[in-house]
């Protein structure tokens, strides 16, 4: 039954001329597309690095006994999980409309200095918003900030999965709260954190396609679509995009397998990770 | 070594310690007995400030634990100072609480290396001596999951000793062990007592209390009911509650 369906699918793929396989193969590896692949990978890596780092900070803030710190983290997570990445990407791409310049300084400096009759302001650092939020940076920010919100929840679940006795044992030998977190709790939480983070990385690789709408013009999906519309061969280039994402995702899954193995040291076996890798049941 | 004066502790509306007065002398082995819920474990955890106390005073080696006094009022210390004080007090838990992501020897060196800043080679040499002392030198590179309960608890004792504590606290150290593994842990503890370590032990091992304890304290319902030499408390309990408890467990 399955074999018949597969055969029908293959037949359709091979005989339908609209697939334009040779055209696709010719345009799938052109320099602009390869540049796009590179950008996609760089965006994935950077946004995940920022997302994981910031996510850990947010998770620790969320678990803080201080209600102000904890609610700041909650509000952040709430907002960035509520807004779709596509909307965020376009929003960040258009922040230049709101501010001509981005500056870091003292709040209300114009107003306060105005009261004293003087002019000037208290800007410490500034940059032209359109330069700064041009394409890549805007896309990266949108993806990384949204990722941090998801990672915060994953890290929090990981931290909470570690037995409270571990914290007590670490404190009993004189470790501070920071040391306890870094040396004892987080390494154990990693076992719970890594698998969903692998998922997040794969999701991120695919979500980099939304920055085509910032727009980030040297991104892979943007390039493939551009080739498609320019040559009126839309469908083959969409298939090319699928193939690229499948290939890159497969590479990431292998990486995830080794990471999981690394962080399950001292705990049972790696059989579970292997089962997940080859798609076995567990 | 330990001086408790009117120590009180509540969880919500339940008062679990209702004014504990207790004194532990240097080199003394004090055994805390009592039915579950009597507050003995909670009191032990107050000694190294794993639990805040809500009233009274508790000092170890002449220094208040977790608090400083200023004009007759107590203020909680900064985290760093609490940690420094805790490093002087070893604790062994009922469920071992070894770090599962570290080998036996790394469990033992974690404190000296990360808290005291001892060089790793030095810490490892000392850790091997300690593992040898608890009879586990050959399992130094094993992860806790590969050790039996008794072995894990002995590593946990070595981990506590690695900080050169002035005082050791044992919170039902053999309660989570299979009966045939209890002996090996108690033997290590007896050795410690012989070497003059000051120890406070919460346990249900009456044989150990009788043989090793210098003094036995019986607690019930958040108060100290009776205390004295083991022979005295076991042989001739004065209080009804002590008699009732001992008749159930002896």
* Cβ B144 vs Cβ A266: under 8 Å: yes
**Given CB atoms, is B68 within the 8 Å cutoff of chain A?**
no
Q: What is the DSSP letter of B38?
A: S
Residue of chain A with shortest Cα separation from B87:
A174
Chain A residues in contact with B50 by the CB 8 A cut-off are 168, 171-172
Residue with tokens 């719970």: A192
Is 80 exceeded by the pLDDT of residue B141?
A: yes
Question: Edge-to-edge strand order for the sheet containing B223-228?
Answer: B89-92, B167-171, B198-202, B29-33, B215-220, B223-228
- The predicted pLDDT at position A16 comes to 80
Q: Do B160 and A172 touch (CB under 8 A)?
A: yes
Is 90 exceeded by the pLDDT of residue B181?
A: yes
Q: Helical H runs in A264-282? A: 271-277
Q: Do B87 and A179 touch (CB under 8 A)?
A: no
* Cβ B97 vs Cβ A165: under 8 Å: yes
Beta bridge mates, B223: B220
Q: Do A165 and B80 touch (CB under 8 A)?
A: no
Question: Radius of gyration (Cα) for chain B, nearest Å?
Answer: 18
Chain A residues in contact with B103 by the CB 8 A cut-off are 266
Residues in B 201-240 with any Cβ partner in A closer than 8 A: none
Report the 3 state secondary structure along B1-46.
CEEEEEEEEEECCEEEEEEEEEEECCCCEEEEECCCCCCHHHHHHH
- The predicted pLDDT at position A15 comes to 81
Residues in B 168-197 with any Cβ partner in A closer than 8 A: none
> Can you tell me the ipTM of this complex?
0.91
- The predicted pLDDT at position B129 comes to 96
Q: Which of A20-34, A246-260, B152-166, B193-207 has the lowest mean pLDDT?
A: A20-34
- The predicted pLDDT at position B105 comes to 97
A22-74 pLDDT, tens per residue? 888 888 888 888 888 898 999 999 999 999 999 999 999 999 889 999 999 99
Residue of chain B with shortest Cα separation from A188:
B101
- The predicted pLDDT at position A102 comes to 65
Residues in B 117-156 with any Cβ partner in A closer than 8 A: 143-145, 156
Q: Between the ranges A94-108, A124-138, B152-166, B234-248, where is the mean pLDDT highest?
A: B152-166
Q: Do B86 and A173 touch (CB under 8 A)?
A: yes
Distance to chain B for A185, nearest Cα, Å: 9
Chain B residues in contact with A169 by the CB 8 A cut-off are 91, 93, 97-99, 156
Chain A residues in contact with B110 by the CB 8 A cut-off are 170, 173, 175, 183-184
Total length of chain A: 282
Q: What is the pTM of this model?
A: 0.79
Residue of chain A with shortest Cα separation from B115:
A175
**Given CB atoms, is B114 within the 8 Å cutoff of chain A?**
yes
**Given CB atoms, is B247 within the 8 Å cutoff of chain A?**
no
Q: Kindly give the parts of chain A with pLDDT less than 70.
A: 98-106, 110, 112-134, 265-282
Choosing among A173, A176, A187, which should be mutated to test the B contact, i.e. which has the most B CBs within 10 A? A173
Distance to chain A for B168, nearest Cα, Å: 11
H/E element holding A101?
Answer: strand A101-105
**Given CB atoms, is B86 within the 8 Å cutoff of chain A?**
yes
Which of B94 and A280 is assigned the larger pLDDT? Answer: B94
Is 70 exceeded by the pLDDT of residue B122?
A: yes
């Amino acid at each position: 039954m399955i074999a018949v369906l597969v055969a029908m699918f293959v037949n359709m793929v091979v005989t339908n001329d609209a697939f334009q396989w040779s055209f696709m193969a010719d345009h799938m590896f052109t320099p602009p597309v390869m540049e796009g692949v590179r950008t996609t990978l760089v965006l994935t890596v950077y946004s995940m690095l920022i997302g994981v780092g910031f996510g850990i900070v947010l998770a620790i803030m969320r678990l803080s006994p201080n209600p102000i710190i904890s609610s700041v983290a909650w509000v952040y997570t709430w907002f960035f999980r509520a807004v779709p990445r596509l909307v965020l990407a376009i929003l960040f791409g258009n922040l230049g409309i709101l501010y001509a310049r981005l500056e870091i300084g003292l709040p209300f400096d114009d107003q306060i200095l105005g009261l004293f009759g003087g002019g000037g302001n208290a800007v410490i650092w500034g940059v032209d918003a359109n330069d700064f939020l041009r394409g890549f940076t805007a896309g990266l920010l949108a993806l990384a900030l949204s990722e941090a919100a998801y990672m915060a929840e994953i890290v929090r679940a990981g931290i909470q999965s570690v037995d409270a006795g571990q914290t007590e044992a670490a404190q009993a030998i004189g470790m501070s709260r920071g040391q306890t977190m870094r040396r004892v709790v987080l390494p154990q939480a990693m076992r719970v954190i890594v698998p969903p983070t692998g998922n997040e990385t794969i999701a991120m690789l695919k979500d980099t396609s939304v920055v085509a709408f910032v727009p980030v013009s040297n991104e892979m999906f943007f390039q493939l679509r551009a080739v498609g519309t320019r040559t009126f061969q839309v469908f083959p280039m969409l298939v090319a995009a699928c193939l690229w994402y499948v290939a890159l995702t497969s590479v990431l899954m292998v990486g995830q397998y080794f990471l999981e193995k690394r962080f399950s040291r001292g705990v049972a076996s790696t059989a579970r990770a292997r089962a997940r890798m080859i798609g076995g049941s567990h | 070594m330990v001086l408790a004066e009117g120590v009180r502790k509540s969880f919500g509306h339940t008062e679990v310690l209702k004014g504990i007065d207790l004194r532990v002398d240097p080199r003394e082995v004090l055994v805390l007995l009592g039915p579950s819920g009597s507050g003995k474990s909670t009191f032990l955890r107050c000694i190294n400030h794993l639990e805040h106390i809500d009233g009274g005073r508790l000092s170890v080696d002449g220094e208040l634990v977790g608090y400083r006094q200023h004009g007759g009022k107590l203020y909680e210390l900064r985290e760093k100072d609490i940690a420094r004080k805790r490093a002087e007090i070893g604790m062994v838990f009922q469920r071992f609480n070894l770090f599962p992501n570290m080998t036996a020897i790394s469990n033992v060196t974690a404190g000296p290396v990360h808290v005291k800043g001892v060089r790793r080679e030095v810490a490892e040499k000392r850790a091997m001596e300690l593992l040898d002392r608890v009879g586990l030198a050959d399992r130094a590179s094993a992860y806790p999951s590969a050790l039996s309960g008794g072995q894990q608890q002995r590593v946990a004792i070595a981990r506590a000793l690695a900080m050169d504590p002035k005082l050791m606290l044992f919170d039902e150290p053999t309660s989570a062990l299979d009966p045939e593994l209890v002996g090996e842990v108690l033997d290590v503890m007896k050795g410690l007592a012989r070497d003059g370590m000051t120890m406070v032990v919460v346990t249900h091992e009456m044989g150990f209390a009788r043989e090793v304890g210098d003094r036995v304290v019986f607690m019930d319902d958040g108060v100290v009911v009776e205390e004295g030499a083991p022979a005295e408390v076991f042989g001739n309990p004065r209080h009804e509650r002590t008699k009732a408890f001992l008749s159930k467990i002896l």
